Amino acid sequence: MEIRTIPHSEQRYETCGDYWVDENGVQQVRISELNDWRYEVLIAVHEIVELSLARQRNIDEDEITNFDVNFEQAKGKGECFGEAGDHVHAPYRKEHFFATNIERLFAAELGVDWFEYERYVDALGSKK
């Protein structure tokens, strides 16, 4: 597994965390560079938990990525809101919810204000 932070503008689509298996079979995780190292760690943990559960449950990564890309396009047109993984039709909804629960618990232990963190991450789309 290779985990790297990158400028938000270099994400494959409008997201602060992304994962896929590359052509060599290496699990890749990309996290947007943020103003607080704890935010980056929280997103990395979320992505690792989500990808692990999706892999265990044989949820296709291409299906996840396609859903996310389509969701973000619809979101950009004002046709939906929130996070792709929260959507009732997300193929990884259960896995996303579990990852978010772990992320919230870890945020509390790191002393991160969840609402401030969410506001910051939500605002990334307007900065891209």
pLDDT digit string (tens) for 69-117?
999 899 889 898 888 999 999 999 999 999 999 999 999 999 999 999 9
In a domain, 24, yes or no: no
In a domain, 115, yes or no: yes
40: domain range? 35-127
Confidence check: pLDDT of 8 > 70: yes
CB neighbours of residue 24 within 10 Å: 6
In a domain, 21, yes or no: no
Cα torsion angle, 75, 80, 86, 89, sign:
negative
Q: Are 41 and 112 in contact (CB under 8 A)?
A: no
Query: Any residues with CB less than 8 A from the CB of 98 and at least 6 apart, and which?
Result: 49, 50, 53
**CA dist 33 → 17, 41, 48, 68, 85 (Å):** 10, 10, 17, 20, 21
pLDDT, tens digit, 9 for 90 and up, residues 30-78: 999 999 999 999 999 999 999 999 999 999 999 999 999 999 899 889 8
Q: Work out how many domains the chain is built from and give that number.
A: 1
In a domain, 15, yes or no: no
In a domain, 117, yes or no: yes
In a domain, 83, yes or no: yes
CB neighbours of residue 55 within 10 Å: 15
In a domain, 101, yes or no: yes
Q: pTM surpassing 0.85?
A: yes
Q: What whole-number distance in Å separates Cα of residue 67 and Cα of residue 101? A: 21
In a domain, 82, yes or no: yes
